[in-house]
């Protein structure tokens, strides 16, 4: 039965792992289920082709290919979603779906000259693309799904990136029906974006953080312009950032949200057929560009200069022509990694729009044309903007200024980002300007040489490739290379504290031709950049951006002082870092000067003016949720501990009447799930000074009873009281019990003496109570007591274990089969020990399956079988069984007759040579005398061994 109990427990143990697996699976399923619960709302789409006039006064039409995304609930406000350069309506499908899921009717369309729309690209011309968009507004106003402000006036916002963003601005400028706009990474003045000149001889109006110099006669941004133009030719989407920019608190792989949003649309974008071949007329080398645009590009690309016609085309393509009419709330999103449309473009838009008392909010995010499109959080912010300004839903996004600070790499692989929020974009509409700090630069006058043909050229950025390097934007910013002889370097002292550079710094430079050298008629072309150099000399070019300048030099060789506005950037310049200003003659990304030349460069003023916009971190540096989680977990643990402590305190249970009784067992039952009952309704008591034998065959439930006595197993029913105290696991009264149950338990790597010493130390009782010497003498292991227990024989361990049980001279000594494994002399000694120990005022409980063992050792006996009590009482009494006696005689029948005649004697029966009788008080001597008197020869007389009978019967019955 012991084995079956053990196997049952193993079975239960075996279930715990599957149970754990099931638990884990359930948790996983719950997580998946809860995540599926917030499935995005369904979005349906309608494709339509809308005809628009080819030009304002033309009767020819251009077909605009559109897709209308309808939210779950209509009518709803509309969002017009133009695409980026080189893209089509398919390239904004994901964002359109996302906005439709937010509850807007979204109209995505391919601009003329792109995708399946016909017509020719006129670069967001006010006469062409902007009028197309107005026609789309007319069309939206007729749709019943769209909320209108009045007849022909839909409630509509416009958002779009790059080319689409410029359209949003221009459309808002010409059409008051537009209610709000959110242009993203776009331009203010295309002429300045493609032909920038950052040098001005006057002071720059520096109220805003990132103003551009916007001087005339700029340096052609050759690489980007080429990429732009070829995107128009081929329809390839190379001009737009491919990946999303990282956002604060975002994992390295969270960028796939937009893809999943795209697949959630009922019409997947790929099914809309994004035919790479231009559908419209192909105009030779000009592709789908309008002829005048093509001619303008050809002029700039070949000469590096823009003539008046080209400038006019660029002006018509620029929102700056109409920004003075924009009064709608405007959210300007610009990228910090953008060498095409820098922060100065957004700055100009912000200034011009705010001048109309319009509501302007500016956001600088970590991406851009070199860094990636807006991530999910920023797209959500744009949607929030639309929701507030079209429907009045949600919190007012306000007119705060937000920018992202890119820090070092993190364990997740992406660089760390934090968003900083300032109360407003400084310097708008007469407000207080951005704070500017002067940082001293030093460096003597240096001569820089422009190589003939402008080759080799310094490297600052890799236009078009930048988005491929999004994930390692700081890597991209380290690609920069200056060529010796072509660059003048001015450097600051190491910073004493961090300076968070926010916007465009300015510096005054003095440029002079080298005497005797020819002065180029088109002026000196120089590229100015500001590096952040750390303590070990590693330089980082924030935003990979350079400021190209063209300085007209007088022929007489007099120096010219110019104020150079550096590219807008956000860069925390750490303590111990230096700022390094480099003036170079060449740059790969620009049309360099062809003529060989040499210039003397020096600082006109040693002060570098650095803008700083104070704000608070929007990304909670303190991860509140996690901290709350930690607090909750700790609180739960503390509460659990306190509750468990109180429950333990309430379990004490004492019966004062039984305080003198070593052991009382009442109705003790132990049954296991599955119906197995190891001990059933067992009751007996052990009095002081007894040596009680618990007798029963193997599997009778003896060991289970003793384990319950030690608090190792919980009874199913009934209870055990030791000296009046109910036994529960760890009950203090157990300290009065010394036990040896089912084998020894020692640490094999320690010696016998160490084991006993550490065991006693573990009980926490004073060492002098242990009586270690006496106990070790009982074990009698001699010198072996210093050997490791793993070298001991079974008998030695047994003796050591009994010695351990005797440590502290327990009031109740419980020994389970103590003589197993001992040889006969040792068994004899053991009996002696137990008898004398009880005689010394202690109580001993011994279990055994051997009758002789119990007979010879014990004063009292409890017989168990199959978990039940069979008999209990003094050994003698049980053995003599109420005065029953046996006589071995020569004439049994005669003896029986004699015995029956004695008064009180009854129940006489013959069993072979033996006669058994219940004497019932009659002394055995009297009966014997009567038998002898009757002439019966008595061979043997004694008590009848009922104990043995009973026991054999039980064992036989197994």
Partner 1 sequence: MSENGVHTDPAAISDLTDAAAAEHSSVAPDGSKVGYRAGRTLPVRVELMRQLRRRRTQLVLGFLVLLPVILVVAFELGQASPNRRAGGFVDLATASGVNFVILTLFVSGSFLLPMIVALFFGDTIASEASWSSLKYLLAAPIPRHRLLRRKALASGLMSVFALALLPAVALGVGVVWYGAGEAVSPTGEAASFGAGVYGVALAVVYISIHLFWVAGLALYLSVSTDAPLGAVGGAVLASIVSQILDQITALEGLRDYLPTHYALAWADLLSSDVDWSQMAKGTFSALAFGSFFTLLAARKFARKDITS
- Spell 335-370 as b/e; 16+ CB within 10 A means b: bbbbbbbbbbbbbbbbbbbbebebbbbbbbbbbbbb
Nearer to partner 1, 24 or 952 (CB): 24
Structure tokens at 221: 């941004």
User: Residue 895, interface with partner 1 (CB under 8 A)?
Assistant: no
711 touching partner 1, by CB under 8 A: yes
Residues in the chain: 958
How many whole angstroms separate alpha carbon 118 and alpha carbon 62? Answer: 5
Nearest-approach distance from CB 341 to partner 1, in angstroms: 28
Residue 412 interacts with partner 1 (CB under 8 A): yes or no: yes
Residues 6+ apart with CB under 8 A from 427: 206, 207, 208, 209, 351, 433, 434
User: 317 Cβ partners below 8 Å, 6+ apart?
Assistant: 122, 123, 124, 125, 166, 190
Residue 591: CB minimum distance to partner 1, A = 33
733 binds partner 1 (CB under 8 A): yes
Binding residue for partner 1, selected from 495, 735, 856, 886, defined by CB under 8 A: 735
Question: Cβ closer to partner 1: 474 or 897?
Answer: 474
Q: Which of 468, 479, 481, 750 binds partner 1 (CB under 8 A)?
A: 750
726 Cβ contact list (under 8 Å, min separation 6) = 653, 654, 655, 719, 720
Stretch that binds partner 1, among 91-99, 525-533, 583-591, 837-845 (CB under 8 A): 837-845
Binding of partner 1 at residue 253 (CB under 8 A)?
Answer: yes
Q: What is the size of the binding site for partner 1 (CB under 8 A)?
A: 116
User: Cβ of residue 724: shortest distance to partner 1, in angstroms?
Assistant: 7
Among candidate residues 612, 602, 388, the one with its CA nearest the CA of residue 512 = 602
- Cα dihedral sign, 400-406-409-412: positive
Q: Which is nearer to partner 1, 706 or 908 (CB)?
A: 706
Q: Which of 747, 852, 932, 937 binds partner 1 (CB under 8 A)?
A: 747
Q: What whole-number distance in Å separates Cα of residue 386 and Cα of residue 80?
A: 11
The span from the CA of 410 to the CA of 568, in Å, is 25
Rounded CA-CA distance 594/605 in Å is 30
Applying CB under 8 A, which of residues 268, 283, 612, 759 lies at the interface with partner 1?
A: 759
- Least Å from the CB of residue 578 to partner 1: 14
Q: Quick check: 650 binds partner 1 (CB under 8 A)?
A: no
Q: Does 956 bind partner 1 (CB under 8 A)?
A: no
Q: Does 737 bind partner 1 (CB under 8 A)?
A: yes
- Residue 230 to residue 509: CA distance in whole angstroms: 36
- d(CA 295, CA 313) in angstroms, rounded, equals 10
Minimum CB distance to partner 1 smaller for 388 or for 759 = 759
Does position 758 interact with partner 1 (CB under 8 A)? The reply is yes
Find all residues with CB under 8 Å of 55, minimum gap 6, and list them.
127, 128
> Do residues 91 and 84 make contact, with C-beta atoms less than 8 angstroms apart?
yes
> Are the C-beta atoms of residues 114 and 235 closer than 8 Å to each other?
yes
- Min dist CB 664 to partner 1, Å, is 13
Select 394 or 743, whichever has its Cβ closest to partner 1. 743
**Structure tokens belonging to residue 263:** 């697949």
Please give the Cα distance from 769 to 56 (Å, whole number).
111
Closest distance to partner 1 from the beta carbon of 857 (Å) = 14
Exactly one of 251, 445, 948, 958 binds partner 1 (CB under 8 A); that residue is 251
Task: Return the biggest CA–CA distance within the chain.
Answer: 166
Q: Answer whether 165's CB lies under 8 Å from 369's CB.
A: no
Name the minimum Å distance from CB 125 to partner 1.
43
Q: What would the DSSP string read from start to end of 707-742? A: HHHTTSS--SEEEEEETTEEP-TT-GGGGGEEEE-S
Is 616 a binder of partner 1 (CB under 8 A)?
no
Least distance between partner 1 and beta carbon 3 (Å): 11
Q: Which is nearer to partner 1, 22 or 937 (CB)?
A: 22
Sole window of 281-289, 384-392, 828-836, 938-946 interacting with partner 1 (rule: CB under 8 A)? 828-836
Phi and psi torsions of 16, nearest 5°: -70, -35
- Tell me: does residue 725 bind partner 1 (CB under 8 A): yes
Q: Kindly tell me which residue out of 842, 860, 865, 944 binds partner 1, with binding defined by CB under 8 A.
A: 842
Helix axis angle for 772-779 and 794-806, nearest 10°, is 150
31 scored as a contact of partner 1 (CB under 8 A): yes
DSSP lists the bridge partners of residue 334 as 364
- Is 739 an interacting residue with respect to partner 1 (CB under 8 A)? yes
Contact positions with partner 1 (CB under 8 A) in 33-92? 35
Among 373, 98, 150, which residue's Cα sits nearest to residue 243? 373
The answer to whether 363 and 384 have CB atoms below 8 angstroms apart is: no
Q: SS3 sequence, 930-953?
A: HHHHCCCCEEEEEECCHHHHHHHH
Rule CB under 8 A: is residue 774 a binding residue for partner 1?
Answer: yes
Which CB sits closer to partner 1, 537 or 912?
Answer: 537
> Does residue 655 belong to the site contacting partner 1 (CB under 8 A)?
no
CB of 812 to partner 1, least distance (A): 10
Do the strands 737-740 and 677-686 form a parallel or antiparallel pair, or are they unpaired? unpaired
The conformational region for residue 430 under phi > 0 = left, psi -120 to 50 = alpha, else beta, is left
Nearer to partner 1, 26 or 538 (CB): 538
| Residue among 437 and 836 whose Cβ is closer to partner 1 | 836
29 binds partner 1, rule: CB under 8 A: no
Q: Which is nearer to partner 1, 260 or 929 (CB)?
A: 260
Say how far apart CA 643 and CA 637 lie, in whole Å. 10
Q: Which of 42, 456, 748, 904 binds partner 1 (CB under 8 A)?
A: 748
Please select the residue that binds partner 1; options are 133, 306, 541, 741, rule is CB under 8 A.
Answer: 741
Q: Binding to partner 1 by residue 224, rule CB under 8 A?
A: no
411 binds partner 1 (CB under 8 A): yes
Rounded to a whole number of angstroms, the minimum distance from the CB of residue 779 to partner 1 is 8
Which of 36, 302, 357, 536 touches partner 1 (CB under 8 A)? Answer: 536
Residue 755 to residue 797: CA distance in whole angstroms = 11
Residues of span 442-501 touching partner 1 by CB under 8 A: 474
What is the smallest separation between the CB atom of 735 and partner 1, expressed in angstroms? 4
Contact in structure between 548 and 461 (CB atoms under 8 Å): no
Q: Which of residues 619-648 bind partner 1 (CB under 8 A)?
A: 621-623, 626-627, 629-630, 633-634, 636-637, 640, 644, 648
766 near partner 1, judged by CB under 8 A: yes
- Which residues, in sequence order, are bridge partners of residue 814? 739, 845
Contact call for residue 779 and partner 1 (CB under 8 A): yes
Query: 653 vs 953, which CB is nearer to partner 1?
Result: 653
- The CA-to-CA distance between both ends of the chain, in Å, stands at 11
Q: Would you count residue 743 as binding partner 1 (CB under 8 A)?
A: yes
Of the candidate residues 763, 901, 929, 940, the single one contacting partner 1 (CB under 8 A): 763
- Count CB-CB contacts under 10 A for residue 473: 26
Of 182, 519, 731, 878, the one binding partner 1 (CB under 8 A) is 731
By CB under 8 A, name the one of 41, 652, 937, 952 that touches partner 1: 652
Interface pick for partner 1 out of 497, 555, 840, 933 (rule CB under 8 A): 840
| Residue 410 engages partner 1 in binding (rule: CB under 8 A) | yes
What residues from 788 to 817 belong to the interface with partner 1 (CB under 8 A)?
A: 793, 795-796, 799, 804, 806, 808-809, 811
Q: How far apart are CA 653 and CA 633, in angstroms?
A: 34
The distance of closest approach from Cβ of residue 649 to partner 1 in the complex, given in angstroms and rounded to an integer, is: 11
């Amino acid at each position: 039965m012991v084995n079956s109990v053990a196997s049952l427990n193993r079975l239960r143990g075996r279930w715990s792992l599957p149970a754990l697996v099931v638990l884990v699976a359930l948790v996983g399923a719950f997580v998946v289920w809860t995540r599926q619960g917030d499935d995005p709302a369904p979005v349906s789409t309608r494709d339509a082709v809308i005809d628009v006039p080819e030009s304002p006064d033309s009767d020819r039409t251009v077909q605009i290919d559109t897709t209308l995304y309808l939210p779950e609930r209509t009518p709803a406000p509309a969002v017009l979603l133009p695409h980026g350069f080189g893209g089509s309506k398919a390239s904004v499908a994901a964002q359109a779906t996302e906005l439709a899921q937010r509850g807007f009717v979204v109209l995505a369309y391919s601009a003329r000259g792109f995708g399946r729309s016909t017509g020719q690209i006129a670069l967001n011309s006010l006469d062409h693309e902007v009028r197309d968009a107005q026609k789309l507004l007319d069309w939206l106003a007729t749709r019943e799904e769209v909320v209108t402000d009045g007849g022909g006036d839909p409630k509509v916002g416009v958002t779009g990136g790059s080319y689409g963003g410029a359209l949003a601005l221009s459309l808002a400028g010409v059409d008051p029906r537009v209610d709000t706009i959110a242009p993203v990474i776009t331009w203010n003045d295309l002429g300045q974006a493609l032909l920038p000149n950052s040098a001005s001889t006057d002071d720059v109006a520096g109220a805003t953080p990132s103003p551009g110099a916007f001087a005339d006669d700029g340096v052609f941004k050759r690489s980007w312009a080429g990429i732009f133009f070829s995107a128009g030719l081929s329809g390839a989407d190379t001009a737009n950032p491919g990946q999303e920019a990282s956002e604060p608190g975002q994992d390295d792989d969270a960028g796939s949200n937009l893809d999943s949003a795209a697949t959630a649309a009922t019409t997947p974008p790929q099914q809309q057929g994004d035919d790479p071949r231009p559908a419209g007329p192909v105009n030779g080398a000009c592709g789908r560009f309008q002829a005048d645009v093509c001619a303008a590009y050809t002029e700039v690309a070949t000469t590096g200069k823009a003539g008046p016609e080209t400038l006019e085309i660029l002006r018509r393509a620029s929102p700056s022509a109409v920004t003075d009419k924009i009064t709608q709330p405007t959210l300007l999103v610009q990228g910090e990694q953008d060498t095409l449309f820098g922060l100065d473009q957004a700055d100009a838009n912000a200034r011009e729009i705010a001048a109309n008392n319009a509501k302007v909010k500016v956001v600088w995010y970590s991406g851009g044309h070199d860094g990636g499109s807006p991530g999910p959080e920023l797209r959500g912010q744009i949607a929030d903007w639309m929701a507030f300004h079209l429907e009045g839903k949600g919190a007012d996004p306000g007119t705060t200024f937000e920018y992202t600070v890119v820090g070092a790499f993190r364990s997740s692989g992406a660089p760390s980002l934090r968003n900083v929020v300032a109360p407003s974009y400084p310097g708008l509409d007469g407000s207080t300007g951005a704070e500017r700090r002067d940082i001293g630069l030093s460096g003597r006058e240096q001569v820089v040489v422009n190589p003939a043909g402008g080759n080799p050229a310094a490297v600052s950025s890799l236009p078009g490739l930048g988005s491929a390097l999004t994930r390692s934007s700081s890597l991209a910013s380290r690609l920069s290379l200056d060529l010796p002889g072509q660059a003048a370097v001015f450097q600051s002292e190491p910073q004493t504290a961090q300076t968070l550079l926010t916007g465009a710094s300015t510096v005054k430079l003095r440029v002079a031709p080298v005497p005797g050298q020819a002065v180029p008629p088109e002026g000196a072309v120089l590229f100015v950049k500001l590096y952040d150099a750390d303590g070990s000399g590693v330089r980082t070019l924030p935003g990979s951006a350079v400021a190209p300048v063209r300085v007209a030099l007088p022929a007489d060789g007099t120096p010219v002082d110019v104020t150079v506005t550096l590219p807008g950037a956000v860069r925390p310049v750490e303590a111990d870092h230096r700022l390094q200003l480099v003036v170079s003659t060449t740059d790969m990304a620009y049309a360099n000067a062809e003529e060989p030349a040499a210039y003397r460069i020096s600082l006109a003023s040693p002060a570098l003016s650095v803008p700083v916009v104070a704000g608070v971190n929007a990304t909670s540096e303190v991860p509140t949720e996690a901290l709350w989680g930690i607090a909750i977990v700790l609180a739960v643990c503390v509460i659990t501990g306190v509750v468990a402590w109180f429950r333990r305190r309430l379990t004490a249970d004492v019966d004062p009447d039984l305080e003198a009784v070593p052991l009382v067992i009442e109705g003790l039952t132990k049954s296991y799930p599955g119906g197995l009952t190891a001990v059933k309704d067992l009751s007996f008591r052990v009095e002081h000074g007894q040596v009680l034998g618990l007798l029963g065959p193997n599997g009778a439930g003896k060991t289970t009873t003793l384990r319950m006595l030690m608090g190792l197993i919980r009874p199913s029913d009934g209870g055990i009281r030791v000296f009046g105290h109910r036994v529960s696991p760890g009950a203090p009264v157990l300290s009065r019990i010394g036990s040896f149950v089912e084998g020894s338990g020692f640490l094999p790597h320690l010696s016998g003496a160490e084991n006993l010493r550490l065991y006693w130390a573990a009980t926490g009782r004073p060492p002098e109570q242990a009586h270690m010497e006496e106990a070790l003498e009982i074990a009698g292991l001699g010198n072996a007591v210093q050997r490791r227990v793993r070298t001991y024989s079974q008998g030695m361990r047994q003796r050591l274990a009994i010695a351990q049980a005797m440590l502290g001279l327990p009031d109740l000594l419980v020994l389970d089969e103590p003589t197993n494994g001992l040889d006969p002399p040792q068994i004899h000694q053991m009996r002696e020990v137990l008898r004398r120990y009880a005689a010394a005022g202690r109580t001993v409980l011994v279990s055994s399956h051997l009758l002789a063992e119990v007979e010879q050792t014990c004063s009292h006996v409890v017989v168990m079988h199959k978990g039940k009590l069979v008999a209990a009482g003094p050994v003698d009494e049980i053995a003599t069984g109420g005065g029953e006696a046996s006589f071995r005689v020569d004439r049994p029948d005669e003896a029986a007759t004699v015995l029956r005649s004695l008064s009180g004697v009854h129940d006489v029966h013959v069993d072979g040579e033996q006669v058994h009788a219940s004497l019932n008080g009659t002394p055995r001597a009297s009966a014997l005398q009567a038998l002898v008197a009757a002439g019966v020869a008595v061979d043997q007389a004694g008590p009848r061994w009922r104990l043995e009978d009973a026991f054999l019967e039980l064992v036989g019955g197994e």
